[in-house]
Structure 1
Amino acid sequence: MDDVWGLTERVESLRDLVANEARPILQGFGPEAASLPGIVNLAHYLALRHHDVRPLQRALMRHGLSSLGRLESRVLPTLDAVLVALAARAGRQSPVALPSSDAFFAGEARLEQATDLMFGPPPAHRRSRIMVTLASEAAEDPAFVADLVRRGMDIARINCAHDGPEAWRAMAKHVRAAGDAAGRRIAVLMDIAGPKIRTEQVLLAERKLKANVGDRIRLVASGEPSLFDDVRFAVSVSLPEMVTRLKVGDRVLYDDGKLQTVVTEVGDGMAVIRVERAKANGARLKPEKGINLPDTALGLSPLTAKDEGDISTVVECADMVGYSFVSRPDDLDLLDRELGAGGNGNPGLGVVAKIERPEAVKNLPALIARAAGKREFAVMIARGDLAAEIGFERLAEMQEEILWICEAAGVPVIWATQVLENLVKSGVPSRGEMTDAAMGARAECVMLNKGPAVGEGVSTLDTLLARMDEHMFKKTPELRALKSW
């Protein structure tokens, strides 16, 4: 009994510590957010995760009480339940009351409600929704959209970096019609482009030349790209400030990291980068490919002039707006002001914050708190840009942490970038991407990009997510009866 009572004291001390350390966190979130249950639980979760509870978890395990590893949505209720159980084992009065079933699972209910409001009701056979990025043909071919809905698409994503307002209106119209025909609400997300840096003109010393380790590439801020000395590649970029703010030693990543380079020389309106890492056979430089600058502070607004012009169409057509390159809570205020400018207000329009940069990861709790209670809010783990910014080796760890933080706050998450990419592009999946897609079932939504076999991708993902839902809810195994043995 002494061992059990000692554990009771340790858990009680941890509970008091969490409650006390959460107070300044809540104060930092502001008075409006601090009164919301999801934000309160988020503060408790952040306070708890500032401590290493692994030894305590292991000590509790022998008593059948190791549930701390699944407390994201219910921090204090879990600690209270453990305390009650320990006190009963010790034959002593519990210092806290046992939470009711409703109180214990209130966080799960908040997340389910937020997900339904943001994404629409789920299909009967799975919890996670499927989002699909629409190709340009969706504007001209309503049958294409209807087929995606029939196969299991729940949300259509329109990428405002491509096409234009008339095409977007046509896509949204076809989505609404397909949803009506299927008797389902199919939500529309319109993703504004933000200050995405891309290659524009590309000049090669030889036709079909590929860049390999050791090759040098000249970047130009304006004008036509040109070659000089032993530099066999020259590229102009969509954002001139990018070139002028580079410093020697800064990393420059091309096309989600297919080339990793470092700046070796800067000059008047140009910079030279050297390839440090590349695919086995090199990479071909092409226009309209993304560039990431993990070491360079550009100080850019996440809203561009193009975005400001596109927002009126977003308000007209969409249920949600995807916000690229959001980094600070003030960025959310900037978007909200723009959404309400010129009579464009749409209080039902949800906001999806795309987590793409290290600043967004660091500020994620503050972003969630700033958005709380204003508009429906979700987070997209934009794994392509995020991996390029923080390093590929950290992506798996970071996507888990984002899932945990959002679950603690009751915020839905979209698992995005390269899901079933080989299947969508070629019709044949790789083994690894099937496992990756299955792991995405812990998010509230999984996104597929466009491709020739996207319909098959939707069908496959629909089946995969339904099967995984029988086995897992977030981090909790469901222990469905096994039938393979």
Structure 2
Amino acid sequence: MDISPNAPPLPPTESAADLYASVSQIRAAISREAEATLASWQPAIHRPDFLPSARNLAHYLALRKIDLRPHQDRLIALGLSSLGHCEEAVRPALDAACASLASIAGLTPEGYPPAAEFTKGRQRVAAAQAEMFGTGDGEPGTRIMVTLPTEAAADEEIARSFIFAGADCVRINCAHDDAETWAAMIANVRRVSRDLGRQIRINMDLGGPKVRTDLGGRTKGIKLRQGDRFRMAQSLEAAPAGAEELPALSLNHPELVASLRPGTEIWFDDGKIGARIDSRSGDDVILLVTSVRPKGEKLKHGNGVNLPGVEVDIPALTEKDLQDLDFVLRHADTIGFSFVQSPRDVRDLLAALDARLDGAQPPGVMLKIETDLAVRNLPRLLVEAGGRLPVAVMIARGDLSVELGMDRTSEMQEEILWLCLAAHVPTVWATQVLENMMKQGRASRAEVTDAAMGQRADCVMLNKGPYAPQAITFLHGILRRMARHHSKGVSSLAPLNSWRQSQAL
């Protein structure tokens, strides 16, 4: 059947019959693949409530292997859904499309799926959202998470100002401060929550095994400019002959140096310095600076390191994380799991939880998706975690932009949103949201647009800054207004008032 743009249009009944045959074949193919995928996931699924979500995710993965674009305009021309927003209920959407096509074409009728099948996924997401980020305080539906500064331990008014402005949950980063400080922060949040009649969820982020620079005894750092070369060594103690001509550094995980090959790109300090492996010299590698601002940057001890394309095979749980977990399980409502990359990482966390909980129900876990490997493994990460406990996903856009490239960030954040919606897993829109407003009291136009896009997630995270209460209030207003127009990427056709008073010229 010729479906090119220049082909003569078919009568509606013939077009519907032809399209019915195509969509039916697609439905049968993805159902077979989805059931096989679900069977392979079954050993990891211990929560019966998660099984329908896993089944829908399996259907979505199978569906998105197919190019549906040739069929979408034809579905719209017949007054049907284009299947462009079927993430929450894949099989019901296909069944409804086939039933309508069969009816239009005059074929043997197919039954429509019950209307409730289209809302069950949304209800599961809403329940998980409340579990992870709180019940909220009316509109907007998207929750607001704020990172607590150290000062929130000594000053109860910080927590009060955050919650009064509209924060629904707070985040404590275990990479900073200590148990005594965390306990004081939590006590203040709990006390203010009771005073204001709010149920504020507390998330504690495990620090994870961040790869960082090791400059040995150098305290002043290394000033680098475009075109400079420097050396990365497995050991700074035994430099090869002639190596002293180049400034040298190592990594806090020096074993990773052995996996680096010429051509590999490396980014330092959240992408401020980009370099490429130029050559190997024994156990060391020589790097060429390829991206830095014109006046250069200083590379310091402890700067973060991103290795795009390199599978960093180090455990996601450090010894410090395991020690912190003892405190977290006594005080936090949910756990943030940093640097999770593989199903093995999830299983390690589950084992650590089981060892400490003695059969009690584990708290929800927020998976922080920070690397290319985590993106590629995301379906299995969702199944491993969601099969045992409530789960959410943080889209760590800062790390992802360095790992995947800035040009891929916008596409990847969309794909993660779609995939998590198909798994009925709530998402967090994170990294530099309203950063200028948080730090300087005024948002840029680009930041406002970015914050508005965050409404499609289930929670938007703000970091630290002296203007946090103002930013929370500002974000709350943006999310409330956007909720009138969009729900999970689907346009809501509320009345538009902007032109109601316009006058004819």
SS of 1:484's partner is coil
Residue identity matched to 1:212? R
Residue identity matched to 1:198? R
Measure the CA separation in 2 of the matches of 1:433 and 1:217.
36
The equivalent residue for 2:66 is: 51
Shift of 1:92: 3.7
Report how many aligned residue pairs link the two structures.
Answer: 482
Are residues 268 and 3 of structure 1, via their aligned partners in 2, closer, same or farther at CA, if it must alter by over 3 Å? closer
Tell me if 1:68 matches 2:83: yes
Residue identity matched to 1:171? M
Shift of 1:222: 5.7
The 5-angstrom pairing of residues 62-211 of structure 1 reads 62-95=77-110, 97-199=111-213, 201=215, 210-211=223-224
Equivalent position to 2:343, from 329, 339, 351: 329
Measure the CA separation in 2 of the matches of 1:288 and 1:123.
40
Are residues 392 and 78 of structure 1, via their aligned partners in 2, closer, same or farther at CA, if it must alter by over 3 Å? same
**Which runs of no fewer than 5 residues in structure 2 stay unpaired?**
1-12, 500-505
Is the Cα contact below 8 Å between 2:353 and 2:362 reproduced in 1?
no
Measure the CA separation in 2 of the matches of 1:154 and 1:480.
26
The equivalent residue for 1:451 is: 465
Measure the CA separation in 1 of the matches of 2:313 and 2:115.
48
Percent identity of paired positions between Structure 1 and Structure 2: 42
Equivalent position to 2:419, from 405, 425, 450: 405
The equivalent residue for 2:6 is: none
Is the Cα contact below 8 Å between 2:215 and 2:221 reproduced in 1?
no
Is the Cα contact below 8 Å between 1:224 and 1:236 reproduced in 2?
no
Is the Cα contact below 8 Å between 2:132 and 2:390 reproduced in 1?
yes
Residue identity matched to 1:292? N
Shift of 1:234: 4.8
Residue identity matched to 2:52? P
Is the Cα contact below 8 Å between 1:203 and 1:225 reproduced in 2?
no
Is the Cα contact below 8 Å between 1:241 and 1:298 reproduced in 2?
no
Shift of 1:190: 0.8
Measure the CA separation in 2 of the matches of 1:297 and 1:8.
44
**Which runs of no fewer than 5 residues in structure 1 stay unpaired?**
none
The equivalent residue for 1:217 is: 230
Are residues 472 and 228 of structure 1, via their aligned partners in 2, closer, same or farther at CA, if it must alter by over 3 Å? same
The equivalent residue for 2:35 is: 23
Is the Cα contact below 8 Å between 1:253 and 1:293 reproduced in 2?
yes
Are residues 222 and 185 of structure 1, via their aligned partners in 2, closer, same or farther at CA, if it must alter by over 3 Å? farther
The 5-angstrom pairing of residues 77-476 of structure 1 reads 77-95=92-110, 97-199=111-213, 201=215, 210-219=223-232, 231=246, 234-235=248-249, 237-266=251-280, 271-342=285-356, 347-476=361-490
Are residues 160 and 344 of structure 1, via their aligned partners in 2, closer, same or farther at CA, if it must alter by over 3 Å? farther
Residue identity matched to 2:60? Y
Is the Cα contact below 8 Å between 2:226 and 2:290 reproduced in 1?
yes
Shift of 1:23: 1.7
The equivalent residue for 1:13 is: 25
SS of 2:299's partner is coil
Deviates more, 1:292-301 or 1:385-394: 292-301
Shift of 1:396: 1.0
SS of 2:84's partner is helix
SS of 1:353's partner is strand
RMSD after superposition:
2.5
Shift of 1:318: 0.8
Are residues 178 and 222 of structure 1, via their aligned partners in 2, closer, same or farther at CA, if it must alter by over 3 Å? farther
Cα deviation, 1:305-364, whole Å, max 9, x if unaligned, reads: 111111101111111111111111121110011123255765241111111111211111
Measure the CA separation in 1 of the matches of 2:221 and 2:318.
34
Cα deviation, 1:27-85, whole Å, max 9, x if unaligned, reads: 22125639611111111111111100111111111112133000000111111222222
TM-score, normalised via structure 2 length: 0.89
Shift of 1:104: 1.9
TM-score, normalised via structure 1 length: 0.92
Is the Cα contact below 8 Å between 1:203 and 1:235 reproduced in 2?
no
Shift of 1:169: 1.2
Is the Cα contact below 8 Å between 1:130 and 1:446 reproduced in 2?
yes
Shift of 1:175: 1.5
Measure the CA separation in 2 of the matches of 1:373 and 1:295.
29
Are residues 50 and 297 of structure 1, via their aligned partners in 2, closer, same or farther at CA, if it must alter by over 3 Å? closer
Residue identity matched to 2:73? R
